[in-house]
Each structure stands twice: as structure tokens, then as C-alpha cells.
A = this chain, B = another copy of it.
Amino acid sequence: MNDPAPGAGLARYAILLHEPQDDLNIGAVARACRNHDLRDIRLLRPASNDPDRVAITAPRCEDFLRAHVRSFDRWTDAVEGIHRVYALTARGREERHRRHRLDDLIADLLRRPDLRVAFLFGREDSGLPNAALDACDGYVTLETGTWSSLNLAQAVLLVVARIFAHEGRAVPMPPPTRDFPPARAEQIDRMMGDAERALDAIRFFRGDQRENVLRTLRRIVQRAEPDEQELATLWGLFARVRKFATHGRDSPGPADPER
């Protein structure tokens, strides 16, 4: 019971928006969180938080919004239960606290699964006031090029995607749906033998090219990692070439290469 289930670590992260002014951003933030299995979204004095407008950027999320987005009037209520608050700030602010690279910070937090953590985002027009900056445990600046202008919802999306990458459990990728097993080496060898005979039949090789041509062809086939059906297609092609060269245009169709 000491090993938490994969993804369980996500429950300890909160996204805290400080006085968000635009409901479209609240919706986009909720959508970003929902995609990445974060379920603790806190709004400190939102300007409006009108459900109809929030739904524009978070369609079909009514239940999620009701269950996981909470509003607060006071800072102390907004950070209730949180041990560490990290503020997203632009570069160049006065450094009151330590500034972290996001991935390094999350990697450090993986070693402290007992801590509940909030990432704090300032309002769209004016950022975070000094009182909030002072109350934080550290700053995070998203890494960008020299031109740095991410809006609120974009910044949240990048943060929650990295939390998810470290702590989440991604839905597994579907395995490639191959209907046929990969071709085995000896099948490729036999096909290559038939290919050589076919190319001989059409007098493809000139001078000392034979080895080079066959090596190149084999390299291409091997790199493609064909399945049995794909190999059979090549096989059929060369069988047809050979039959055509031997019997002419009126020869019967491709032989079954497995015979």
C-alpha cells in the first residue's frame, strides 16, 4: 500500500489563478487541467466566472467545472491545505525567492510526495501583486526564446502538461495493429533469392554490380521491417517479373511465393 498508483500524485497539485479577469481563460485553464487529470482549480477573486462564458472554451465540461473549480475571496482560504506555492512569473522580476526550472522543480517534488503544491498564476493584465509574490515559496519561469509572451491559458497548459508528464499516467498508446507477424529473417533471405533470380531473368545486372544492387535492396527491405504480408507482396512482384521474363506477357498470374 506504500506504492501509490501511477497518476495518484496528480491529486496533490492545484492550479491557483489570482484574480482572473477573462472567463475564456478560466475555461481554457479548466480544459487544460482536465486533459491532464488535474482536478484542483482554485480561483482567487475571479472577475466574473460566468458558467456560460467559461463553457465557450471548456465545452461539455459542466460537471467537471462544478466539481473541480472553486472560488475564494481570501488568500488564506485559497491556499488551504497547500504546503508549497510556486508563482509563475516573467523573467526579470526582482528575485525575492529562488527561481526554478519547471522540470527540475517537478522532479524535486517527486521526492516529496507528502507535499501539496499550488502553481500560482497572476491576472492577465497586471500579473501578481507583491503580497502574493512574497507569500510564495519560489518562482517558476517557463523556458522560451528571447521573445516571451505566453497568455494565461497557454502558461497553465504548459505547466499542467509537464506535471502530467512527470506524475501522470498517460493512456497507453495502441500497439500498431498489424494483422500479420513480422517477416522472419529466413523469409527475407528466400525472397531475396527469388529477387536475384528475377533480376537475372530480366538481365538487370551489368558488370560487377550484382553484389551492390542486392546489398542495397536487402538493406531497404530490412530497414522497412516488413510484416509477412508486405514481404509476400514483394515476393509476388519478383515472382511475376521472373515469370514474365521467362514466359512472356501471356504467362499466368503471380505464383504463391510460399509454395
Contacts and interface: CB of A to CB of B under 8 A. Distances in A.
A92 interface: yes
Copies in the complex: 2
Given A35-B149, A150-B35, A143 B164 contact: yes
Interface residues of chain A: helix, strand, loop or mixed (majority): loop
A99 interface: yes
Interface stretch (A43-51, A77-85, A166-174): A166-174
Given A91-B171, A157-B157, A176 B144 contact: no
Interface string A126-156: 0000000000000001011111111100100
A165 interface: yes
Interface of A: 7, 28, 31-32, 34-37, 91-92, 94-95, 98-99, 101, 103, 141, 143-151, 154, 157-158, 161, 164-165, 168-171, 173-174, 176-177
14 contacts: A31-B149, A31-B150, A34-B145, A35-B148, A37-B146, A92-B174, A95-B177, A99-B173, A141-B173, A145-B170, A145-B171, A157-B157, A158-B161, A161-B161
